[in-house]
A and B are shown apart, each in its own frame.
Chain A
Amino acid sequence: MIPTVAFKNRETVPTWFAYGAPLLTVIAALLVSAIPLAWLGVNPINIYYEMFISNPTGIRGVSYILVTAVPLFLAGLAVYIPLKAGLWNIGAEGQLFVGAIIGSYLALTFEWPIYVLLPAMIVSGGIVGALYGAIPGYLRAEHNVNEIISSLMLTFTATTFTGYLLRGPMQGGGGQSATERLPDFARLPTVIHPRLHIGVGLIAVVAVLVYLLINRTRLGYEITLIGSNPSAAAQAGISEYRTYITVFVLGGFLAGMAGIIEIAGVHGRLFEGFSPDYGFTAIAVALLGRNGVFRVLLAALFFAVITTGGTTIAVTQNVPTAIINVIVALTILFLLTAEFIKEHRIVINPDRESDPETPSGLEGAS
């Protein structure tokens, strides 16, 4: 008489659960993260109060959050768009890096007027990111090479190669593995708050453009159909080849732009650790917001609150910033668990012998 646990597909999802799940997920992640916080002898309530209440209210906090949301949102879309076509772009981090490299190179090489140089930096960052993203897209389309592995490998190729550039050809003075500081005419201007660069405006523009692309254009329709129903897409004569490359090019473009915006807007110089795993947090952003572009934006803002909050408490409470990674990872792990519960009823049979299979005809009646 050993009880067995079986999972049945749900026909209907309780309303409270459908809407409450994301919130419950976040609460669960914060509850578990309270353990490592308490371990270091800080009061988790104080920490969370600072992260979610006192930090995000006020010009300074909001500025930091918006600025952090830029790379998270753009890189999040770099994962989201291929995901719409059923592909995993695990390489947003690498695309971010190559965009940052080429943009920094332009900034340190050409003394152009700011209104020429900045657009050139951002566009070329996007183009190089797109080319880099096109590699896994092409390999998948042409040779069916698994895009997860190739985009992952290209990420480490890019981050490692950045290390070479910063200790070699692009190294600035002072013996650090970093470039020279970007000149003022290569820095994104700021408004209202000295940290709030105008790259933030791009969030709104990109959000609307990508929304229109996915929901209002033929290409967006093709992407969605290939991702949701490949056989129907094939019958409709939609080219998988073209779509696979397109989604990776688009994703790479956005991630590449994110990279140089982060350098020109926030850090002012390229160094190895300029991205606190934005490209990997982007996977979390895309997952949390996978039902729509504006949800990706919300997810990016949410993780931006955690990231900036984590950076703030690192200073005020001496808590390692690594707590950010812990909260992000736990949020996604709980989210995925919640999705499973959303789709499955958990049935506990007290008797091992009883048949776990219900006749399919009775399922609908119950």
Chain B
Amino acid sequence: MSALAGIAESTVRLATPLLLAAMGEIIAERSGVLNLGVEGMMLAGALAGFIGTVVTGSAWAGFAIGILAGGLLALLHAVLSISLKVDQVVSGIMLTLLGVGLTTYFGRGWVGENISGFARIEIPILSEIPIIGYALFDITALDYLTLLLVPVIWFFLFRTNVGAEITAVGEDPETADTAGIPVFKIQYACVLLGGLLAGAAGAQLSLAFTNFWATEMVAGRGWIAVALVIFAQWRIWRVLAGAYFFALIDALSFRTGGSVGEELLGQELLATVANFVINPQVMQTYPYIMTIVVLWYIMRQGNLNELGAPRSLLKSYSREQD
């Protein structure tokens, strides 16, 4: 296998959890609820999925349990931020703190165990295509499913009545309410769906990527998913592109190791700069920096709402006049 094919394969598999979590976050945010608990929900999904797999002996059953664990934390976020009108930022961050705490606490006994997890499924002939064949047609069932889910969620959000209702709620809950759209039900459903997808993203990590549980193994991918939604300006296809872009950075940072020879560039200063830029740890900061730059750039152009941010994001809707 060539190095290029290896990078392509890592990129595709590293993109899966980002895609799942970011698509979930888009759904929640389009209904007007920011979920900063993604990191915690992914951790819950990763640990619950792992334990579920060990206990039941089935990776699929474990995966389902992982999804539910993410959903359970999301339910808390929904109750707090939708019903109790708690600040979405605070609720989300506290849920991440809770998720980190609980999984570290209960996960201690599971560190060091291994499972076989999801096996690769090779599609004959197609997997023989140079470079991308190995990356796209020799991956696990979860990777395939996630790729299939992208058009499904796009269709759901942008081509169905429910999708239109979600948009209406996220843009202007009061008008939506007047029009008879069940605002609270839709927000609950969207936050829950977001949490289930975050749980799935976490479970994918422990069941189809590492095949073990490690403390805080999500390692910031939940935050990257939050960043990705902004980076992609709340659009599904851009999330797909953005997930591959961020995953590529991740995949490259595993491999470069930061070593461009001086003789290659002929100049010491240039080599130093180049080595800095491709240093694995430095590369890990790029998604965060790029998200700020994108946000700064679009805000300079005008306003967020024109560029896809739901208008009522961060505002909790209350029927009472107060």
Contact = CB atoms under 8 A, between A and B. Distances in A.
Nearest to B313: A146
Interface in A323-366: 323-326, 328-330, 332-333, 336-337, 340
Nearest to A143: B299
Contacts of A324: 101
A325 B289 contact: no
Interface of A: 7-9, 36, 39, 88, 90, 139, 143-146, 148-150, 152-154, 156-157, 160-161, 163-164, 167-168, 277, 280-281, 283-284, 287, 320, 322-326, 328-330, 332-333, 336-337, 340
A138 to B, nearest CB: 10
Contacts of A284: 94, 97
Interface residues of B, number: 45
A326 B94 contact: no
B151 to A, nearest CB: 28
Contact of B84 (A90, A157, A337): A337
A163 B281 contact: yes
B281 A322 contact: no
Interface of B: 36, 76, 80, 84-87, 89-91, 93-95, 97-98, 100-106, 108, 220, 223, 226-227, 230, 279, 281-282, 284-285, 288-289, 291-292, 295-296, 299-300, 303-304, 320, 322
Given A149-B291, A153-B292, A160-B288, A325 B91 contact: no
Given A143-B299, A156-B223, A322 B84 contact: no
A325 B90 contact: no
A145 B299 contact: yes
A160 B224 CA distance: 13
A9 B322 contact: yes
A325 B299 contact: no
A150 to B, nearest CB: 5
Given A333-B98, A336-B80, A156 B220 contact: yes
A90 B93 contact: yes
Given A156-B223, A160-B284, A333 B101 contact: no
A322 B86 contact: no
A333 B282 contact: no
Most B-side CB within 10 Å, residue of A150, A322, A330, A332: A322
B46 to A, nearest CB: 15
A323 B98 CA distance: 9
A340 B288 contact: no
Top 7 A-B pairs ranked by shortest CB distance? A325-B101, A164-B281, A322-B104, A329-B98, A326-B101, A329-B97, A322-B105
30 contacts: A39-B106, A139-B296, A139-B299, A143-B296, A144-B303, A148-B89, A149-B227, A149-B230, A149-B292, A157-B288, A160-B281, A160-B284, A161-B281, A161-B285, A163-B284, A164-B279, A164-B281, A167-B281, A168-B281, A280-B97, A283-B93, A283-B94, A325-B104, A326-B105, A330-B98, A333-B91, A333-B98, A336-B87, A336-B90, A340-B84
